[in-house]
Amino acid sequence: MSTALNQPSKVSKLLRARRFALMASVAGLGAVLLVAAPQFLPNQIPAIAHAEVAMRPASFADIVVKVKPAVFAVRVKVEDDDQQMSFSGGDQMPFPPGSPMERFFKRFGFGDMPNGRGGKSGQSHHFSMAQGSGFFITADGYGVTNNHVVERGQTVEIKTDNGKIYKAKVIGTDPRTDIALLKAEGGKDFPYVKFADKPPRIGDWVLAVGNPFGLGGTVTAGIVSASGRDIGAGPYDDFIQIDAPVNKGNSGGPTFDVDGNVIGVNTAIYSPSGGNVGIAFAIPADTVKSVVAQLKDKGVVTRGWIGVQIQPVTADIAESLGLKEAHGALVADAQSSGPAAKAGVESGDVVTTVNGAEVKDARDLAKKIGALAPNETVKLGLLRKGTEKTVSVTLGKFPDQKEAQVKGNDNGQNDDSGMPQLGLSLAPASAVAGANTDGVVVTEVDPNGPAAERGFKSGDVITEVAGRTVDRPSDVRKALDVARKEGKRTILMRVKTGDATRFVALPVGRA
């Protein structure tokens, strides 16, 4: 019995044989899997890896050697009463006489410091030095920088990468895009760079080059973080966001792609602490090319104008207008003498297309119209109370910017009518001294109410509610009641603040 247990039986031999066969099969399968794995997976992964290696240079040195000579420092003499030296748009750096910092900046070409030092104490005018960067775009000395670098300049000089200094003439500026065109005097055969033919993609490598404080060219690298950024700088905001560290003195300097072409002009940084946090904004090359061409040809930039106040279509406004999605630009006001009003555009219209091209939002409409020339005729696609229309508008010339002045509220006659569901107190405009005779004046705003959240302020005038004109608070109440009965969640109001008009969607709330 024991002999039988110790010796392999036929059954045990059979089980062992099957186990070895199974192990061999698994091992064989593993070998097959290991060998065949690249065949099972698509070839995209190796291809992407190869593309990444191809796009990412082992070093940026070759690009730097190619483009750096075209980048220069801009030095602007600005008359100033604060007797301090200003760098790159407002950094005040006062140095005591004979200090190491004063000697340091004199060494790098600043000459005598301002505020009467260095043997010039008898001057009656005080000057500061603004600093920035720029780059040549032609061999005969045309160069680009930011408008904010040179806008207050009495004289402008540029210092090239090889240390030479040239006087520069400001050919023209465009404050709305923050672009300025310069022309170096007394030189020729300048090294220059070209603009890129196509916009960069998010994730592309970029190289920012500048000449901050005239200390010599600096180079930083990063990627494109985003495009189409609106930072509130103006009506034509369309910035490229990059994460390459950009110093304040690099304003006006170029951002390059890996081929050495300019994809943007550095113009702003986001810096809550005053230091660089890796968020910088550049004006796209296509915008710069268009502006520079006009500045070189005429010295000024002229833009098309249709004479409307516009605002984005928010989700609440879309719901109020019965739109399926929030898109297009809402006409808050069409100036009576403007091209759009003459063509039949009305307040409350939503502009959906320009010459057949979709209008994404209010900023997109401003950009599309601004890119066209005055006297050009365009076709605007409109949505008016659910009906599509097309009108032809002959563009006017963009007028000088008009600053809106907000009227105060002289609440001499306090005929308020409280509407707690909206967080508003209202009075007929005719009963409020200083107000117009039309509409309903906001006399008080609950800081915790829905109206305050949407920007209502005392002194605002409500002229329309749900497409109907209002003259008394009771008109507003009636419109609210109708909206509730129709099952609407929001109601659209037309509001004037000073000279500006906008539409605001407020929740209907409960009575």
Q: SS3 letters for 195-240?
A: ECCCCCCCCCEEEEEECHHHCCCEEEEEEEEEEEECCCCCCCCCEE
- Which residue type is seen at 328? G
> Model confidence over 394-432: pLDDT tens digits?
999 876 543 222 223 333 333 345 566 788 888 887 766
pLDDT, greater one: 381 or 152: 381
What's the confidence (pLDDT) of residue 500?
84
Q: How confident is the model at residue 437 (pLDDT cuts 50, 70, 90)?
A: low
Can you give the three-state secondary structure of 3-45, one letter per residue?
Answer: HHHHCCCHHHHHHHHHHHHHHHHHHHHHHHHHHHHHHHCCCHH
What pLDDT score does 102 carry? 56
Q: Give the residue among 380, 215, 222, 391 at the shortest CA–CA distance from 310.
A: 380
Q: Which residues are catalytic?
A: 148, 178, 251
State the average pLDDT over residues 239-261.
Answer: 87
Residue 269, Cβ neighbours under 10 Å: how many?
Answer: 18
What is the 3-state composition of the chain as percent helix, strand, coil, each rounded to the nearest 5? 25, 30, 40
Query: Is residue 2 over pLDDT 60?
Result: no
Choose the most confident range, by mean pLDDT, from 73-82, 242-251, 432-441.
242-251
For residues 288 and 294, the answer to whether their CB atoms sit within 8 Å is no
Distances (CA, A) of 12 to 4, 5, 16, 23: 12, 10, 6, 16
Given a cut of 50, whether residue 390 has pLDDT beyond it is yes
pLDDT in tens, 442-459: 887 877 778 888 888 878
The pLDDT of residue 70 is above 90: yes
pLDDT attached to residue 36? 43
State the distance between the two ends of the chain, measured CA to CA, in whole angstroms. Answer: 98
Closest CA to 312 of 339, 351, 368: 351
Range with the poorest average pLDDT among 27-41, 294-308, 322-336, 344-358: 27-41
Q: Show the beta-strand stretches assigned E in 355-402.
A: 357-358, 377-384, 387-394, 396-397
Residue 507 pLDDT greater than 90, yes or no: no
Q: Are 148 and 178 in contact (CB under 8 A)?
A: yes
Domains of the chain: residue spans and CATH? 61-112+126-301 (2.40.10.120), 304-397 (2.30.42.10), 417-507 (2.30.42.10)
Residue 503 CA to its chain's centroid (Å): 23
pLDDT number for residue 183:
95
In this prediction, residue 224 has a pLDDT band, given cuts at 50, 70 and 90, of: very high
For the cut 90, the answer to whether the pLDDT of residue 392 exceeds it is yes
Q: Are 333 and 501 in contact (CB under 8 A)?
A: yes
C-alpha to C-alpha distance for 288 and 323, rounded to whole angstroms: 36
pLDDT class of 504 with cuts at 50, 70, 90: confident
With beta carbons less than 8 A apart as the criterion, state whether 503 and 465 touch: no
pLDDT in tens, 94-149: 445 555 555 555 554 444 444 444 444 444 556 667 788 999 999 999 999 999 88
Average pLDDT over residues 25-49: 44
> Does the structure show a pLDDT above 60 at 259?
yes
- CB within 8 A of 249, min separation 6: which ones? 73, 87, 88, 131, 132, 133, 210, 211, 212, 213
% of the chain exceeding 70 in pLDDT: 68
Give the Cα separation of 434 and 416 in Å (integer). 16
Average pLDDT over residues 161-182: 92
